[in-house]
Amino acid sequence: MSDDAPKGLARNASNYGDRDMALYLRRSFMLSMGWSREALARPTVGICDTGSGLNNCHRHFPELVRAVERGVLAAGGLPLPFPTISVCEPSLSPCSMYYRNLAAIDTEEMMRAQPLDAVVLLGGCDKTVPAQLMAAVSANVPAVMVVGGPMMATRFEGERLSACTDCRRFWAKFRAGEVDAAQIERIEGNLATTAGTCGVMGTASTMACIAETLGFLLPGTAAIPAVHADRMRAAEASGALAVRLATAKDPIRPRDLVTPESLENALRVLLALSGSTNAIVHLAAIAGRAGLRLDLHRLNALSDGTPVLVDLKPTGQGYMEDFHAAGAMGAVLRRLKPLLHLGTPTITGETLGERLARDAAGFVDPAVIRPLEDPISPVGGLVALFGSLAPRGAILKRAAADPRLFETEARAVVFESLPDMAARIDDPALDVTPQDILVLKNAGPKGGYGMPEAGYLPIPKKLAAAGVKDMIRISDARMSGTAYGTIVLHIAPEAAEGGPLALVRTGDRIRLSVRERRLDLLVDEATLASRRAGWTPPPPATRGWDLLWQREVLQADEGVDFAFLRPGGA
């Protein structure tokens, strides 16, 4: 943008055919809101607010907005909050992923259309952060992100609870008959007792840590608990930074932050955190907005050379408040320094290497964030699998899985859809053993449910009651970043796209080899060809968001973004 481009309220004039009249009208309406002419002459900073009465994770966002406003005003800017879509997993049907792209479109267009010199993005509950990052890269307006932060764990009957790993742990016990209805109701009232996102290294916290690694957050702010006073101070400082971006001659922009090197750093951090499998889909979408591709083969190479350093649920013991107290992302990045690209920029203008040099003596609690030479695991938490059942890849969170199942050939027990699974999974007559592989089909991007977090197939009730805690489960769906188990996800191409998963039938043999990074369907080609000839795609959508989604959505390995939103429209 040239130095003589319009700034502040003069930016992006409404198109009436008379620009002066458009600005005259705009100033008139802004004056009606009580601003002085002096205030309206300041650089404009938008505050993208995803607060909602349906999003408990964001219930403290009014405080965050006020804190950002303080920072903007103190630095000489004009703070202009504006709402965008709020995406909260428990509150949306069929699932929040189905609306991530809608939130990204909303955010991008408001960033691009309104008279904003810079933007502060307020996100938290897990799809809002990737949606905002996708939007920021596409709009390329100077932007700094503030995340809402994790909730605090609650003391309950001799242990700590926090959504949502503990939700799943107790629900599994309830299904197995180990917890009764009265106790599950008491637990329900103690899983989420403060503002903030899930208190474990689920998708929300994983994406916050990745956003800090990419350079979109102020250093050290990804893991501050939602209710901590530092969370408000971080918001205030981010507002002040946004004014500096708004007035800089050549500000750092979102596309400056998303590069092949910064994406590789993000993958290293994801692996060291043993973070959410969802982050792979979101990073692929963010990369796609910058015209880049996330290479799952490269993920495997990095995983083999990146140890797990962080001991947090769902794969470890601690909670996000422990991670914050242990040194948080500064400590993780310093531990990983020999493996990182240190020349990548950050929103403050310094490089990652300069940030780490400045923070070289920061505190680290080795009980939570281990040294590089003494890791929790010598290899990363996630791997990609390929083979005849997943030609374009699938994801396994090996850090959350049972290593005894890593090399398995077994019989498939197939559920054709989510309704089919719901109807039969707990049927006492279901023909299933703990050695079988549960297969869920038609739950991917085009399966009619928006790729829900259904990959965490429940253990069949009769097996759970017999003490079975884990078995291999595979699907084209996702699972919550707070979940655990030997679960293969994101199979691409998906069943609804006609991928090999669509052809699997109960009784088929499937081979999983984590060592070889393979997932294969052991059925001869003639049989598969016969099945393929009889396969029919799901019925087409007829209108609205459903139609747009089905027509434009990409597969998991490309981030489940819309094709027309990527550079060049593909």
How do the pLDDT tens digits run along the chain, 570 residues long?
455 689 999 999 999 999 999 999 999 999 999 999 999 999 999 999 999 999 999 999 999 999 999 999 999 999 999 999 999 988 999 999 999 999 999 999 999 999 999 999 999 998 999 999 999 999 999 999 999 999 999 999 999 999 888 988 998 899 899 999 999 999 999 999 999 999 999 999 999 999 999 999 999 999 999 999 999 999 999 999 999 999 999 999 999 999 999 999 999 999 999 999 999 999 999 999 999 999 999 999 999 999 999 999 999 999 999 999 999 999 999 999 999 999 999 999 999 999 999 988 889 999 999 999 999 999 999 999 999 999 999 999 999 999 999 999 999 999 999 999 999 999 999 999 999 999 999 999 999 899 999 999 999 999 999 999 999 999 999 999 888 899 999 999 999 999 999 999 999 999 999 999 999 999 999 999 999 999 999 999 999 999 999 999 999 999 999 999 999 876
Is the Cβ–Cβ distance between 538 and 419 less than 8 Å?
A: no
Q: Cα–chain-centroid distance for residue 469?
A: 26
For residue 126 the two structure tokens come to: 């897990």
Residue positions counted in the chain: 570
Backbone φ and ψ of 65, nearest 5°: -60, -45
Q: Which long-range contacts (CB under 8 A, 24 or more apart) does 207-210 make?
A: 207/126, 207/129, 207/130, 207/276, 207/278, 207/279, 207/282, 208/124, 208/129, 208/147, 208/149, 209/269, 209/273, 209/275, 209/329, 209/332, 210/266, 210/269, 210/270, 210/275, 210/279, 210/282, 210/283
DSSP letter (8 states) at residue 43: P
Is the Cβ–Cβ distance between 469 and 459 less than 8 Å?
A: yes
Give the three-class secondary structure for 496. Answer: helix
For residue 220 the two structure tokens come to: 């050290």
Is the Cβ–Cβ distance between 397 and 490 less than 8 Å?
A: no
Whether domain 383-539 has CATH 3.40.50.1950: the reply is no
Q: Cα–chain-centroid distance for residue 287?
A: 13
| Residue ranges in 392-447 assigned as alpha helix (H) | 418-424
* Residue whose structure tokens are 């600005």: 23
- Domain definitions of the chain by residue range: 1-41, 42-152+194-358, 158-188, 383-539
Q: Rounded to an integer, what distance in angstroms lies between the CA atom of residue 491 and that of residue 488?
A: 8
> Cis omega before residue 81 (within 30°)?
no
Is the Cβ–Cβ distance between 196 and 150 less than 8 Å?
A: yes
